[in-house]
Amino acid sequence: MKQQEKTEKEVTDFLQNFKTKLGIWGILFLDDRQKNSKALAELEITPSQRNNVLQELTETDFSEARE
């Protein structure tokens, strides 16, 4: 298996696991932290849109692996 294919499969597997856990446990967002509010503003999303953005992530949203 090529490295790129392996990486794509790893991303796919991670996203499947992440979305399953997100559906079960959710995520605790620290909305009272200024840096988090600033990041949302920079991304032009509202706090209520965060979960939708996370649920809609796909392999094509992946940029690169850290070494």
Domain boundaries, the chain: 3-61
Phi, psi of 6 (to 5 degrees): -60, -45
Taking CA 40 as the corner, what is the angle to CA 34 and CA 43, rounded to the nearest 5 degrees?
Answer: 140
H runs (alpha helix) in the chain: 3-25, 34-43, 50-55
The pLDDT value recorded for residue 41 is: 93
Which pLDDT score, from 0 to 100, does residue 45 have?
93
pLDDT tens, position by position, 9-60: 899 999 999 999 999 998 888 888 899 889 999 999 998 899 899 999 998 8
Tell whether the model's pLDDT for residue 62 goes beyond 90: no
User: Is pLDDT at 65 greater than 70 in this prediction?
Assistant: no
